[in-house]
A and B are shown apart, each in its own frame.
Chain A
Amino acid sequence: KQEVTQIPAALSVPEGENLVLNCSFTDSAIYNLQWFRQDPGKGLTSLLLIQSSQREQTSGRLNASLDKSSGRSTLYIAASQPGDSATYLCAVLTNSGYALNFGKGTSLLVTP
């Protein structure tokens, strides 16, 4: 069974800092890995999707990397802003299924 772990569980940084969120998974046989953002009382918003054949994806200040062989992904946020405060979820789609396997998330607080 695929296990997805996110570290740290919570993070507080001052505005302007660069930061890295970590995600690890136990089964490297994956189709893709996604990073989502979840705001309180709202659904999930997809940030980046990395296919298993890719190493990284970038969108604006966000960069996600994937090392499938070691079962790791990182989400890098550059020049953090208070509006980045949210919970960030990592999810993998394994070859054997069609449902995403989620980590428990990292709760990020960016202070002004």
Chain B
Amino acid sequence: GAGVSQSPSNKVTEKGKDVELRCDPISGHTALYWYRQSLGQGLEFLIYFQGNSAPDKSGLPSDRFSAERTGGSVSTLTIQRTQQEDSAVYLCASIPGLSSTDTQYFGPGTRLTVL
């Protein structure tokens, strides 16, 4: 079946603009994660959605970052007033069950460049 998909694959924006990144998890997967991979850094956790529970936003680096998940499926990560340090690859992952110990399935990522 189809894997996790993300769009756009690449996004170039000017400093100060808002951007939206989209993630379509594998159908039926209950949990969804957003991670960020900056140049030379490891993947950094941003936010976690599990079913209908309130999301864990503890990894979001600032209040310019927000995310939502509609209908328990598609998720959108929004970055307002982008800064150059926001340039990174943003990766989405989903897991099939209610246990966070399940294998995470990753999408191809969105490469964001802020000029």
* Interface assignment of A104: CB less than 8 Å from any CB of chain B: yes
Q: Is the CB of B104 within 8 A of A43?
A: no
Q: Is the CB of A100 within 8 A of B45?
A: yes
Which of B33, B41, B101 is in CB contact (< 8 Å) with A31? B101
Taken together as a complex, chains A and B put the C-alpha atoms of A44 and B89 apart, in Å, by 12
Q: Is the CB of B59 within 8 A of A99?
A: yes
Interface string of B15-52 (1 = CB under 8 A from A): 00000000000000001010100001111110010100
| Interface, chain B (partner A; CB < 8 A) | 3-4, 9, 31, 33, 35, 40-45, 48, 50, 56, 59, 91, 93, 100-101, 103-109
Q: How large is the interface on A (under 10, 10 to 19, 20 to 34, 35 or more residues)?
A: 20 to 34
Which of B31, B56, B59, B103 is in CB contact (< 8 Å) with A49? B103
Which of A41, A91, A97, A104 is in CB contact (< 8 Å) with B41? A104
Q: Is the CB of B108 within 8 A of A99?
A: no
15 more CB-based (< 8 A) A-B contacts, given A41-B108, A100-B45: A31-B100, A32-B101, A36-B106, A42-B108, A43-B3, A43-B108, A46-B104, A46-B105, A51-B101, A91-B43, A97-B100, A102-B42, A103-B42, A104-B40, A105-B42
